Amino acid sequence: MNTNGWKKIQRNLTRGGGNYTNRVGFFKGSYEHATVPQVAAWQEEGTSTIPPRPFIRMGLMKKVENGLVLKHIPKVNLIASGKMTWRQLNKELSKDLVEALQESILYWDNPMNRPSTIAKKGFDDPLIGLTGKLFNNVESKVVRRGYVN
């Protein structure tokens, strides 16, 4: 029995596939008194003055479960056939993860801003400030598994 075809598929699927992972979030940027990652954490988890707005845990993860997985799973066949690499798949997925997190920021509306915050900003969009820094600082990285930073 000729197993060359199966060996090629196995080689394509195992070549670098498990070595990389995607990270999406806030890695840099700053406001006057805090970093963008810190502000994102405050919004996500809440503080004594900011109610929790779990736009990552609930917003992003919902989009990942409902669309991104279904979009990218069929591409494993392309990897198996040698028409795509895991790195290419991760790069495509990275772009989609950034867009999904930005959509979560853009459309998150509960809980609303306080009336005093609305008066200051001129609009009620809890995760969008006057500078748009939270939205504009969403990034994705393809990193080696086990990479700490």
* Helix segments in 55-114, DSSP class H: 61-63, 69-72, 75-80, 86-107
Residue with tokens 């950034």: 98
The predicted-structure confidence for 86-111, as pLDDT tens digits, reads as follows 888 888 999 999 999 999 999 999 99
Among candidate residues 53, 92, 55, the one with its CA nearest the CA of residue 72: 92
Per-domain boundaries in the chain: 4-143
The whole-angstrom separation of Cα 4 and Cα 13 is: 14
Residue 2 has pLDDT above 90, yes or no: no
pLDDT on residue 16: 63
Res. 117 pLDDT band, cuts 50 70 90:
very high
The predicted-structure confidence for 16-41, as pLDDT tens digits, reads as follows 666 778 899 999 999 999 999 999 99
